[in-house]
Homo-oligomer: A and B are copies of this chain.
Amino acid sequence: MRIALAAALLTLPAPVLAQEARPEPATPASVVAAATPSEWKAIDRADLLVMDLAPDPAGNERRVVIQLIPAPFSQGWVGNIRKLAQGHWWDGTSVYRVVDNWVSQWGDVEETKPMPAGVTDQPDDTYTAPAFAAPELTLSDSYAKGAGFDGGWPVGFAESAIWPLHCYGAVGVARSVGSGGTGSELYAVIGHAPRQLDRNIAVVGRVIEGIEHLSTLPRGPSATNGVYDDAAQRTPILSARLANDMADGAPLRFEYLDSASDSFKRYVEVRANRKDPFYLHPAGGIDVCNVQPPVRRMPAG
């Protein structure tokens, strides 16, 4: 059996040793499956940004669903993003830059498209929030005093501040030196967490479905820092809307596992200490960006 099939182990019967049934070791998947309904929290449809890319060469639809980050983080940019979506600003723009193990970036590559009313550059000194309390779950960290999870989001913290992290799938605001950007030019992380960007760029959300439509795009040339030099290489954006502004948005129901819940704590413990048969040496630790906080899509209802 190759590693491809390791997850299939979950369905094997427990081995019987010395006439005694041994319980299956918990796995991240089994912990998530056992979480109670009250440990899951609904994501408000008003916080879902739904971006439809042009179909792929085989004609398959490509939808990317982004959860916008809640207060107290990055709300100046999130407010702009709501106005940009409501103004249909991204329609007809493109994904124009892709760098391996770094980011896919989209918006108006020419930076000439007028902003909707009320969308202005944000200051570049508001990447952290005052520390409101200790995060709900904390881990040791190579970058910050500590890291952990709060409200389902990975965060870093110090004595007086807390901030969201650049983990895989994080969505951030491209910006110029001396400006915090508007939020019209966005990127998603498609590689190992570039944590050096934390507190230096606004994290405004995370991709919760369809990241593969951004991570599989052809990489741009290194000479242009990944910006395609041929406009035909760009991936057109057909539309980007808040789910609650979409006529057909009702089926978009997502939930995240509450990071204050017992099941979330257990999930992190088990991810840090795998004891299912494939694992000979449980790691004994985990970095915050490898936790991958559970988010699930619910049946339309």
Contacts and interface: CB of A to CB of B under 8 A. Distances in A.
Interface in A223-245: 224-227
B143 A283 contact: yes
Contacts of A57: 57
Interface residue tally on A, bucketed by range: 35 or more
A219 interface: yes
Interface stretch (A40-48, A84-92, A172-180, A252-260): A172-180
B101 A4 contact: no
A36 interface: no
A212 interface: yes
A286 B2 contact: no
A32 B142 CA distance: 23
A140 to B, nearest CB: 6
A192 B167 contact: yes
A contacts with B: majority SS: loop
Nearest to A60: B218
A196 B4 contact: no
B196 A168 contact: no
Contacts of A191: 168, 191-192
Contacts of A175: 2-3
Contacts of A144: 283, 285
Interface stretch (A65-73, A75-83, A114-122, A197-205): A197-205
Contacts of A181: 2
A51 interface: no
A143 B193 contact: no
A198 B283 contact: yes
A185 interface: yes
Contacts of A226: 4
A111 to B, nearest CB: 8
A124 interface: yes
A287 B156 CA distance: 14
Interface stretch (A16-24, A129-137, A270-278): A270-278
30 contacts: A1-B176, A2-B105, A2-B175, A2-B176, A3-B201, A4-B227, A5-B225, A7-B225, A100-B211, A100-B212, A101-B168, A101-B169, A101-B211, A101-B215, A101-B292, A125-B280, A141-B142, A143-B286, A144-B283, A177-B278, A191-B192, A192-B192, A192-B289, A194-B290, A195-B287, A196-B283, A198-B283, A199-B281, A200-B279, A216-B217
